[in-house]
Chain A
Amino acid sequence: MNIQLQVLGHALRGVAEEMGAALIRSAFSANIKERRDCSTALFDERGRMVAQAEHIPVHLGAMPDAVAAVMEHDPSRKDVFVLNDPFAGGTHLPDLTLVSRTQVGFAVTRAHHADVGGLEPGSMPAASRTLDDEGVVVPPTRIEPGTLEALAVRMRNPDERLGDFRAQLAAHHLAEERVADLCARHGLDGVRAAMDELLAYSERVVRAGIARLPDGRFEATDVLEASEGELVIRATVTIRGEELEADFAGTAPQHDGNLNCPLAVTRSATYFVVRCLTDPDVPASAGAFSPVRVTAPPGSLVNARPGAAVAGGNVETSCRIVDVLFRALGRALPVPAQGQGTMNNVTLGNERFTYYETLGGGQGACPDGDGPSGVHVTMSNTLTTPAEALELAYPLRVRRHSLRRGSGGSGLHRGGDGVVRELEALEACRASILSERRVHAPAGAEGGDDGSPGRNVLNGEELPAKATVDLEPGDVLRIETPGGGGWGAG
């Protein structure tokens, strides 16, 4: 491969990473600045992703849709667009996404804001039934003077929203400058050629990786724990030579709750699995995904129609899609046992403050080692908010944050342990919990034991997997996250 192009490819990845650092370091939402729930990327002129600063896997396959949605509006050179509509380039509403033009293509930032309005503070309601319940829906919108201010006043804490928007805009200014620098040094054609080569390189690596997997057609199902009962997700994976297809026919229809997801999220989850099983180190670019095809029946849980509630789809259904795909491919090759399979979303707030966090749990054990404890296992990789940062900023107290020892499944290799986290309210507020694997335990593999399912407890009383409750000062919410499955008979 041409060395000059390789060097430029490095430089483009460096720009995406620098954008991410600028966003995190100047942001205001705890969820962005402490937990790093954000991603940044560069795209070429045709809307293909060429470089991404990888923070959150669920953003991986979902950002291209944002660029495609903006391209329909003929963006000009100085335009910046904002959007969050899950059915026009977004994922779920709190993920506010900005798209700008650079000299050769586009720059994108996606950040999970602390609140975007809607029924519940924090905009991650457990019981939403339509998209409008979840907050302000922003179709791709050109940012003009006053646009962001007008959006922010429809959300809680408009001042914090504007601070976060400014941090995102800073990353876009930086992308603009850096890409222009590269063009000045290497010429437009040089940068274009480097982008093409980056895409081709990733594609070669992933094709070679898929070719090493056995050909065949493999099926599996698993379930989500919706309030009204279990919802089936079914996947059929076909591997043929250098290409892989995942089809979700047989998956439950979209439902009246918020576990629906747009196809973009389903694609992200599929790309994630392909990445784990082919080359975990391949640079993230559209090339890496081109040998992968994802189909799902329109109107199903994993390809919902516009207007459906989706708050839990991005965070919970995405985890289960990964579980189903690993289970299907496990019929052909060694795969890890199931991890916690949930992000344990906890949102607290009132009209004065909003706070959102997700919690790690046990990773399923792998064919070659124990599963790590207390980590996000699939589509997230956000950090914890330090108790000291949390208590300095919010009327909350962390009572306990510890490993949930013994919750990982035993086996030749042990599943990772979940965690226990207790939050005490210091003023009256609402709490929403969106979680999974409270009934069905993460499964062990090849004779390994299952991990322990998770638990949600308020003042000693068990809550369901999805719950919205009022908290009074002194109330303690305790979340026990699931342990991962073990691998192999121990």
Chain B
Amino acid sequence: MLGVDVGGTFTDAALIADGELRTAKVRTGERQEESVLAAAAAVGAEELERFTHGTTVATNALLERKGARTAFVATEGFEHLLHLRRQNRAHLYRLCEAHPEPLVQLDDCHGVRERMGPDGVVEPLDLASLATFDAEAVAVCLLFSFRDPSHERAVADEVARRLPSAHVVASHDVSPEFREYERASTTAADAYLGPRLAGYLRALGEHCREAGLPEPLVMRSSGGVATLEEAAAHASWALLSGPAGGVVGAARLAERAGFPDAIAFDMGGTSTDVCLISGGEAERSLERTIAGFAIRLPSVDVHTVGAGGGSIAWVDAGGALRVGPESAGAVPGPACYGLGGRRPTVTDANLLLGRLPPRLADGLDLDAAAAAQALGGLDPADVVRVVNAEMLRALRLVSVERGRDPRDLALVAFGGAGPLHACDLADELGIGTVLVPEAAGVLSAVGLAVGDERRDHVRSEVRPLSEVRSLPSEGTADVRYVGQSFELSVALGPNLAARFHDLHESRYGHADRDRPLELVAVRTADVRRGPALVLPSSGHGTAVGPAVVELGGATCWLPPGWVGVRDGGSWRLTKA
């Protein structure tokens, strides 16, 4: 089993073979497919049973606006859906701040005469009303296609006939759910990113064939995987491919340590991802914003904070110390790296507090004098407290605010900076156990190697629950009170209604057991469990805080009062 995760600076590989875990790290090059092969070679991959890949190609193409020239087709009168968004402005008080430019230009948005309503056809489809246009990719989103996709399918077929080489995406295929803007936005992103991701995956497939590796499976935002062909067909599903691997790895690590419920805490150089893990599975959300665009797809419910080890500390006009969102990045990096950084970062503060060794595992000597100079009059302990406050908000958001008591959870800390901050955060939240993998720097790749093969399906319903005769036995149902707009996901099975009321009560503090319920969607997944997580059995030790523990690619800080026990491949830190 091989997992390869491509990040901005490094590409990580994790190989599980003959009951052993091997990991490797190579620099990410210009062409991701070559980095993937280099990482696979570095870890000695051959004769693989399965190869799973986490990619940032789609995410980067969205952030850097390097997708295809895309056209948009909507019901006549709704051509400007992508530009109108939901009419709220980008900033309440900066009046001319702009939302990100839509992925489709206004002149590439076209209407077609037709109309579906909630109960079916209101006006028949007139394909002749669709203008002639040219594009590399086309997103088609007609009103109520989640109810009846026949018009939308016919329009997509017609566009594909007229533009045989274009990548055509119909909204009901991507996100068959109500709310036209969110569905259109998702479909536009899917079309816009499609050709780019497909080209990459094709090249990767060829490279793998030449190297004698099996065709990789691609990690999707939902934590499930897809074949190269499936992944290439719907690029928007890969937008959180990278973070999903980390969360899966954290979930497996926590489960192995006896914690089915945990929080994954992945703190890197410029940003931090946190996610709740429940019953051994990452929590999923149904909608999120990526790079300013609404994406209505199931994804691991990762909450991202724009602060990490490289974030810069500064004092604002009111005299408050702030950290981030500006980061020293990989170049010049923190001042203590001696690569030209002059501004104070979280890493510099950690060094001055004695939480980093004078020399990192990769041989980089840290310059404490440069760190002290960069901090000037700032107290390094204050810098760490401020960045921890940001992290706490995120950790509370995915636990307390979802009705989960953090004291029942373990904190799984990884990423370059996660293990440095984890114990302080656990103290604040009342969390008793922190788990830190030895391979803290490559847990995402490990997650890819051991992740399940999961394929997600969604069926839109939007009808009274009482009218529903049969439901699958496994999966989840999105349910709400008739009249509400937001649903809660309830596991399928007996007493569905009662369990919805209970969940509503625990989430919002009230339930109305006499009010009728509405079934919005049914979500199922085909799952083939991945292999057991294998970690080295050798390597035992203990540490008593205050202590600095060096890990592969990361450093762990145990404050006073914490003790750590290493059991092979991971550390279990507890409050003494």
Seen from chain A, the residues whose Cβ lies within 8 Å of a Cβ on chain B are 1, 3-4, 6-7, 10-11, 14, 18, 21-22, 24-28, 30, 33-34, 36, 54, 57, 160, 163, 166-167, 169-170, 173-174, 178, 201-202, 204-205, 208-209, 272, 275-276, 279-282, 336, 339, 359-360, 363-366, 368-377, 381-384, 386-389, 391-393, 397-403, 405, 413, 419, 422
**In the complex, what's the smallest C-beta–C-beta distance from A38 to chain B, in angstroms?**
13
- A138–B462 alpha-carbon span in the complex (Å): 36
Contact B92 A57 (CB under 8 A): yes
B453 within 8 A of A: no
- A167–B462 alpha-carbon span in the complex (Å): 22
- A467–B176 alpha-carbon span in the complex (Å): 39
Q: Chain B interface residue count: which class?
A: 35 or more
**Would A6 and B321 be within 8 Å (CB), given that A173-B509, A383-B86, A383-B87 are in contact?**
yes
Contact A3 B385 (CB under 8 A): yes
Q: For A383, give the chain B residue with the smallest CB separation.
A: B86
Contact A389 B510 (CB under 8 A): no
Contact B77 A7 (CB under 8 A): no
**In the complex, what's the smallest C-beta–C-beta distance from B408 to chain A, in angstroms?**
15
**Would A167 and B508 be within 8 Å (CB), given that A381-B92, A389-B179 are in contact?**
yes
**In the complex, what's the smallest C-beta–C-beta distance from B188 to chain A, in angstroms?**
16
Pick from B77, B321, B396, B485: contact of A1, CB under 8 Å: B321
- A382–B89 alpha-carbon span in the complex (Å): 9
Q: For A378, give the chain B residue with the smallest CB separation.
A: B95
- A414–B94 alpha-carbon span in the complex (Å): 16
**In the complex, what's the smallest C-beta–C-beta distance from A118 to chain B, in angstroms?**
22
Residues of chain A within 8 A (CB-CB) of B96 are 336, 363, 365-366, 368-372, 413
Nearest 7 CB-CB pairings of A with B: A280-B93, A366-B96, A400-B77, A205-B318, A360-B87, A33-B485, A383-B86
Contact B319 A201 (CB under 8 A): yes
Contact A391 B92 (CB under 8 A): no
- A178–B509 alpha-carbon span in the complex (Å): 13
Contact B93 A275 (CB under 8 A): yes
Residues of chain B within 8 A (CB-CB) of A33 are 484-486
- A167–B389 alpha-carbon span in the complex (Å): 29
Seen from chain B, the residues whose Cβ lies within 8 Å of a Cβ on chain A are 77-81, 83-99, 106, 117-118, 122, 143-144, 146, 178-182, 316-321, 382, 385-386, 388-390, 392-393, 396-397, 400-401, 462, 481, 483-486, 504, 507-510, 512, 515
**In the complex, what's the smallest C-beta–C-beta distance from A425 to chain B, in angstroms?**
14
Residues of chain B within 8 A (CB-CB) of A26 are 484, 486, 504, 507-508, 510
Residues of chain A within 8 A (CB-CB) of B182 are 386
Instruction: Taking A377-B89, A413-B96 as given, write out 8 further A-B residue pairs in contact, using a Cβ cutoff of 8 Å, ordered by the A residue number.
Output: A3-B385, A209-B317, A272-B93, A276-B94, A276-B95, A280-B93, A336-B95, A388-B146
Contact B178 A1 (CB under 8 A): no
Residues of chain B within 8 A (CB-CB) of A419 are 84, 87
- A6–B401 alpha-carbon span in the complex (Å): 20
Q: For A390, give the chain B residue with the smallest CB separation.
A: B118
Residues of chain A within 8 A (CB-CB) of B89 are 363, 372, 375-377, 381
Q: For B482, give the chain A residue with the smallest CB separation.
A: A28
Contact B509 A377 (CB under 8 A): no
Q: For A5, give the chain B residue with the smallest CB separation.
A: B320
**Would A384 and B484 be within 8 Å (CB), given that A166-B510, A392-B118, A397-B122 are in contact?**
no
Number of CB contacts from chain A to chain B under 8 A: 206
- A374–B97 alpha-carbon span in the complex (Å): 13
Pick from B88, B143, B319: contact of A387, CB under 8 Å: B143
Contact A372 B462 (CB under 8 A): no
- A11–B389 alpha-carbon span in the complex (Å): 9
- A419–B122 alpha-carbon span in the complex (Å): 24
- A360–B80 alpha-carbon span in the complex (Å): 14
Q: For A181, give the chain B residue with the smallest CB separation.
A: B400
Q: For B386, give the chain A residue with the smallest CB separation.
A: A3
**In the complex, what's the smallest C-beta–C-beta distance from B540 to chain A, in angstroms?**
36
- A137–B96 alpha-carbon span in the complex (Å): 38
Residues of chain A within 8 A (CB-CB) of B144 are 388, 391
Contact A25 B179 (CB under 8 A): no
Contact B78 A170 (CB under 8 A): no
Contact B401 A204 (CB under 8 A): no
Residues of chain B within 8 A (CB-CB) of A25 are 484, 486, 507-508
Contact B180 A6 (CB under 8 A): no
Contact A384 B87 (CB under 8 A): yes
- A10–B122 alpha-carbon span in the complex (Å): 50
Residues of chain A within 8 A (CB-CB) of B321 are 1, 3, 6
Residues of chain A within 8 A (CB-CB) of B80 are 374, 401-403
- A209–B317 alpha-carbon span in the complex (Å): 9
Q: Provide a sorted-by-A list of 5 A–B residue pairs whose CB atoms are within 8 angstroms.
A: A7-B388, A28-B483, A34-B485, A54-B92, A279-B317
- A353–B388 alpha-carbon span in the complex (Å): 49
Q: For B84, give the chain A residue with the smallest CB separation.
A: A374
Contact A375 B483 (CB under 8 A): no
Pick from B85, B382, B386, B512: contact of A166, CB under 8 Å: B512
**In the complex, what's the smallest C-beta–C-beta distance from A365 to chain B, in angstroms?**
7
- A170–B504 alpha-carbon span in the complex (Å): 11
Which of B96, B320, B392 has the most A CB atoms < 10 Å from its CB? Answer: B96
**In the complex, what's the smallest C-beta–C-beta distance from B271 to chain A, in angstroms?**
18
Contact A359 B95 (CB under 8 A): no
Residues of chain B within 8 A (CB-CB) of A387 are 78, 143, 180
**In the complex, what's the smallest C-beta–C-beta distance from A161 to chain B, in angstroms?**
12
Residues of chain A within 8 A (CB-CB) of B180 are 386-388
Contact B508 A170 (CB under 8 A): yes
Residues of chain A within 8 A (CB-CB) of B97 are 372
**In the complex, what's the smallest C-beta–C-beta distance from B178 to chain A, in angstroms?**
5
- A369–B146 alpha-carbon span in the complex (Å): 38
Residues of chain A within 8 A (CB-CB) of B388 are 7
Residues of chain B within 8 A (CB-CB) of A281 are 93
**Would A7 and B87 be within 8 Å (CB), given that A54-B92, A202-B318, A365-B96 are in contact?**
no
Residues of chain B within 8 A (CB-CB) of A167 are 508, 510
Residues of chain A within 8 A (CB-CB) of B117 are 391, 397
- A336–B400 alpha-carbon span in the complex (Å): 42
Residues of chain A within 8 A (CB-CB) of B179 are 386, 388-389
Q: For B144, give the chain A residue with the smallest CB separation.
A: A388
**Would A372 and B84 be within 8 Å (CB), given that A6-B389, A208-B317, A386-B180 are in contact?**
no
**In the complex, what's the smallest C-beta–C-beta distance from B349 to chain A, in angstroms?**
12
**In the complex, what's the smallest C-beta–C-beta distance from A117 to chain B, in angstroms?**
19
Pick from B143, B382, B386, B484: contact of A27, CB under 8 Å: B484
**In the complex, what's the smallest C-beta–C-beta distance from B140 to chain A, in angstroms?**
16
Residues of chain B within 8 A (CB-CB) of A364 are 95
Pick from A204, A336, A386: contact of B319, CB under 8 Å: A204
- A166–B511 alpha-carbon span in the complex (Å): 9
Contact A7 B95 (CB under 8 A): no
- A163–B146 alpha-carbon span in the complex (Å): 28
**In the complex, what's the smallest C-beta–C-beta distance from B77 to chain A, in angstroms?**
4
Contact A384 B510 (CB under 8 A): no
Q: For A54, give the chain B residue with the smallest CB separation.
A: B92
**Would A160 and B483 be within 8 Å (CB), given that A6-B386, A10-B393 are in contact?**
yes
Q: For A367, give the chain B residue with the smallest CB separation.
A: B96
- A374–B87 alpha-carbon span in the complex (Å): 6
Q: For B85, give the chain A residue with the smallest CB separation.
A: A374
Residues of chain A within 8 A (CB-CB) of B317 are 204-205, 208-209, 279
Residues of chain B within 8 A (CB-CB) of A389 are 178-179, 485
**In the complex, what's the smallest C-beta–C-beta distance from A478 to chain B, in angstroms?**
11
Residues of chain A within 8 A (CB-CB) of B93 are 57, 272, 275-276, 280-281
- A359–B86 alpha-carbon span in the complex (Å): 10
Q: For B183, give the chain A residue with the smallest CB separation.
A: A388
Residues of chain B within 8 A (CB-CB) of A169 are 509-510
**In the complex, what's the smallest C-beta–C-beta distance from B162 to chain A, in angstroms?**
24
- A281–B320 alpha-carbon span in the complex (Å): 13
- A398–B321 alpha-carbon span in the complex (Å): 49
**Would A403 and B78 be within 8 Å (CB), given that A28-B483, A163-B481 are in contact?**
no
- A11–B508 alpha-carbon span in the complex (Å): 19
**In the complex, what's the smallest C-beta–C-beta distance from A364 to chain B, in angstroms?**
8
**Would A201 and B318 be within 8 Å (CB), given that A272-B93, A372-B89, A401-B77 are in contact?**
yes
